[in-house]
């Protein structure tokens, strides 16, 4: 299980992107934050749909598509499996 907590938007710095991070936006956008082998920070934008307790994520490159199950969710914390 992975646990993600909401960040204060005013404190988010693109200079300090975690290797394994993502953002779910209200408009259905899914942004995957990553760092490549050379240390360059990258953002990959896709979209997501929630069906029941399952989140389906789609990108232009289907290799990146993913599915995860929501274990619990509240205002501050998202737990997925």
Q: What is the DSSP letter of 15?
A: G
Q: What is the pTM of this model?
A: 0.74
Number of domains the chain contains = 1
CB 68 within 8 A of CB 55: yes
CATH (domain of 21) = 2.40.128.280
Domain containing 71 equals 2-80
Per-residue pLDDT of the chain (81 residues; tens, 9 = 90+): 565 566 655 555 545 555 678 889 999 999 998 888 888 888 999 999 999 999 999 999 999 999 999 999 888 888 888
Sequence length of the chain is: 81
pLDDT at position 37 is 86
């Amino acid at each position: 299980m992975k646990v993600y907590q909401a960040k204060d938007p005013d404190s988010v710095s693109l200079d300090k992107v975690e290797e394994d991070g993502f953002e779910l936006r209200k408009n259905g956008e899914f942004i995957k934050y990553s760092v490549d082998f050379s240390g360059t920070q990258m953002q990959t934008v896709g979209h997501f749909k929630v069906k029941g307790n399952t989140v389906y994520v789609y990108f232009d490159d289907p290799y990146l598509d993913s599915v995860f199950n929501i274990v619990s969710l509240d205002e501050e914390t998202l737990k997925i499996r």
